[in-house]
Amino acid sequence: MELDEYRRMAAAGERHWWYRSTRQLLEGLIDPHLPARDATTLYLDAAGGSGATGCWLAERAVTALVDIEPEALTVAARRWSGYRSIQSDIGHLPHPDDVFDASLCVTALCHELVPDPAAVVAEFTRVTKPGGIVCLMEPGVRRLRRGHDVVTHSARRFSVGDLRELVVGAGLEPIRATGAYSFLIPPAVAMALFERGDAHSDVGRNESGLGGLLGALAAVERRALRRVDLPFGLSVLALGRKPS
């Protein structure tokens, strides 16, 4: 990812409606399945960048923030005291087996620097404790290619089934697999046609979410996700538990 994009993410992390909504989405899906916390609890935010989506974990317990970009790590560690920054390739984590109670990865498996997403998920599974959970969140709608994908060097998008297969293939017991931000698919398709592959970042654009409308729609969708899984979405998520 471009350095300017990390800077935009850091600046928008607390203002942009998508980051606020995504933190609430992740917390709502993951929290019911987290092992009980104690003095030894450790979390992993893999490829967490500026901490814009995983900082809620760092507020609960010490969280290893692993990313390849040192500037992003510096920004996150300065903002959230619970982070412990480690510069590393997420495909070759410098941690022993079975150390994290939960491992989170948001929009990294899509990146062109990740040649084999399945191998990376296997690495997350290796460092997660038995009984711990792994959560993946990636861009959805396989055939969609937008300007934001160009800026973030995204090489692929995933279906709900793709993420479920990654979880199962890594030996995790699937808990949930669902779409999210389903209401954003029509405007995203329209924007893709308008942009025609030109590089345009979504970060810093329309931070209010149409005056709060998009945030309100996201809240309605989150309430639905308490009861059901969605078959598709502009984002897709999968949650699995490492067998005890």
Q: What are phi and psi of 241, to 5 degrees?
A: -115, 140
Report pLDDT for 172.
Answer: 98
**CA-closest candidate to residue 47, choices 119, 113, 97:** 113
d(CA 104, CA 239): 9
200-203 contacts: CB < 8 A, separation 24 or more? 200/146, 200/147, 200/148, 200/150, 200/151, 201/5, 201/8, 201/147, 201/148, 201/151, 201/152, 202/18, 202/148, 203/5, 203/8, 203/9, 203/12, 203/16
Q: How far is CA 149 from CA 2, 91, 141, 142, in A?
A: 12, 21, 12, 12
d(CA 117, CA 95): 19
Report pLDDT for 218.
Answer: 97
Report pLDDT for 77.
Answer: 83
Report pLDDT for 2.
Answer: 52
Report pLDDT for 148.
Answer: 57
Q: What does the pLDDT profile of the chain (244 residues) look like in tens digits?
A: 555 655 555 555 567 899 999 999 999 999 999 999 999 999 999 999 889 899 999 999 999 999 998 888 888 888 888 999 999 999 999 999 999 999 999 999 999 989 999 999 999 999 999 999 999 999 999 888 775 566 667 789 999 999 999 999 999 999 999 999 999 999 888 877 777 655 555 555 567 788 899 999 999 999 999 999 999 999 999 999 999 8
> How far separated are the first and last CA of the chain, in Å rounded?
36
**CA-closest candidate to residue 158, choices 64, 234, 67:** 234
pTM metric for this prediction? 0.89
Q: Tell me, what amino acid is at 10?
A: A
| Beta-ladder partners of 45 | 65, 104
Report pLDDT for 143.
Answer: 83
Residues 6+ apart with CB under 8 A from 1: 49, 69, 111, 151, 152, 153
